């Protein structure tokens, strides 16, 4: 039951899907929330994949129209919470200030020019990749689309617990304080189960799954090292930016796979 409540906490915090119940915010349930980050991503990805399948198979909509609807769903379902982190982190990063000043910039509720430009590039890039993937889609495309938010949330969870915390307060600190050294042990289990499932049910997508693991691992390694020099560690905004950045690069990876491995 605590796992279900942890997942529902994630829906309340990280999506716009209404969960009209009061949930406990003690350490035990927040730890379960961290452990179910990837499951939240899998639900989101499943929604995106279903939209692509349903609109492609059951409607006369063009590839452009389907891409726009999927792109819009990515924004609406998350409520733009991670986009806010992306903009704040971009403003701080491109200020080229010292780490302490960058933290101040991220705390400023106003959005600067770099934040606006970066979110335009992010959203434009995501739309482009989604559009071309839909044009070239194959049966395994749906499964790999569903995995993109799964890996995005997994990167966020590992970065949260393995990265240094830059602030003593905030959403990231709240979640991290509920974790222990065993919290992330469930993530390898998720990966193992997905690999087995992929090998049995979606064997044609197995290569794509392996590529996603490699790309996500490289992104995570870079972030763990660089967030300290960039911002002094992680914050809620940095974690949100990590989700958006990881998902964008995985959309790009899937786009490239369609050209070179799934054609």
Residue 108 forms part of a structural domain: yes
Rounded mean pLDDT, 23-43: 94
Top pLDDT among 142 and 100 is at: 142
Q: Examine the pLDDT at 168 and tell me if it is beyond 90.
A: no
Window from 25-29, 73-77, 138-142 with minimum mean pLDDT: 25-29
Residue 109 forms part of a structural domain: yes
Q: Examine the pLDDT at 149 and tell me if it is beyond 80.
A: yes
pLDDT of res. 161: 94
Confidence of residue 200 (pLDDT cuts 50, 70, 90): very high
Residue 240 forms part of a structural domain: yes
37-54: per-residue pLDDT in tens? 999 999 999 999 999 999
Residue 26 forms part of a structural domain: no
Residue 31 forms part of a structural domain: no
Top pLDDT among 256 and 109 is at: 256
pLDDT of res. 263: 63
What domain count does the chain have?
1
Domain holding 202, by residue range, is 38-260
Query: Across the chain, what does the average pLDDT equal?
Result: 93
Q: Examine the pLDDT at 95 and tell me if it is beyond 90.
A: no
Q: What is the 3-state secondary structure (H, E, C) of the chain?
A: CHHHHHHHHHHHHHCCCCCCCCCCCCHHHHHHHHHCHHHHHHHHHHHHHHHHHHHHHHCCCCHHHHHHHHHHHHHHHHCCHHHHHHHHHHHHHCCCCCHHHHHHHHHCCCCCHHHHHHHHHHHHHHHHHHHHHHHCCCHHHHHHHHHHHHHHHHHHHHHHHHCCECCCCCHHHHHHCCCCCCHHHHHHHHHHHHHHHHHHHCHHHHHHHHHHHHHHHHHHHHHHHHHHHHHCCECHHHHHHHHHHHHHHHHHHHHHHHHHCCC
Residue 187 forms part of a structural domain: yes
Residue 8 forms part of a structural domain: no
205-262: per-residue pLDDT in tens? 999 999 999 999 999 999 999 999 999 999 999 999 999 999 999 999 999 999 998 8
Top pLDDT among 23 and 239 is at: 239
Top pLDDT among 38 and 18 is at: 38
């Amino acid at each position: 039951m605590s796992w279900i409540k942890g997942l529902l906490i994630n829906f309340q915090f990280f999506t716009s899907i209404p969960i009209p119940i009061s949930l406990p915010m003690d350490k035990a349930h927040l730890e379960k929330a961290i452990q179910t980050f990837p499951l939240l991503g899998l639900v989101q990805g499943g929604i995106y994949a279903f939209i692509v399948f349903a609109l492609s198979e059951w409607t006369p909509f063009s590839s452009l129209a389907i891409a726009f609807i999927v792109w819009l769903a990515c924004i609406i379902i998350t409520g733009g919470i991670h986009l806010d982190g992306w903009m704040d982190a971009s403003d701080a990063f491109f200020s080229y200030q010292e780490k302490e000043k960058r933290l101040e910039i991220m705390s400023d509720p106003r959005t600067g020019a770099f934040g606006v430009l970066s979110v335009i590039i992010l959203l434009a890039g995501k739309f482009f990749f989604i559009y071309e993937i839909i044009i070239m889609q194959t049966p395994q495309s749906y499964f790999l689309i569903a995995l993109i938010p799964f890996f995005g949330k997994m990167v966020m969870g590992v970065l949260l617990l393995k990265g240094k915390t830059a602030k003593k307060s905030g959403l990231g600190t709240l979640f991290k304080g509920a974790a222990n050294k065993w919290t992330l042990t469930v993530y390898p289990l998720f990966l193992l189960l997905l690999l087995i499932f992929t090998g049995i049910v979606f064997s044609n997508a197995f290569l794509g799954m392996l590529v996603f693991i490699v790309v996500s691992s490289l992104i995570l390694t870079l972030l763990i090292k660089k967030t300290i020099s960039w911002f002094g560690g992680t914050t809620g905004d940095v974690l949100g930016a990590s989700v958006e950045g990881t998902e964008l690069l995985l959309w790009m990876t899937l786009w490239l796979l369609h050209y070179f491995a799934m054609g």
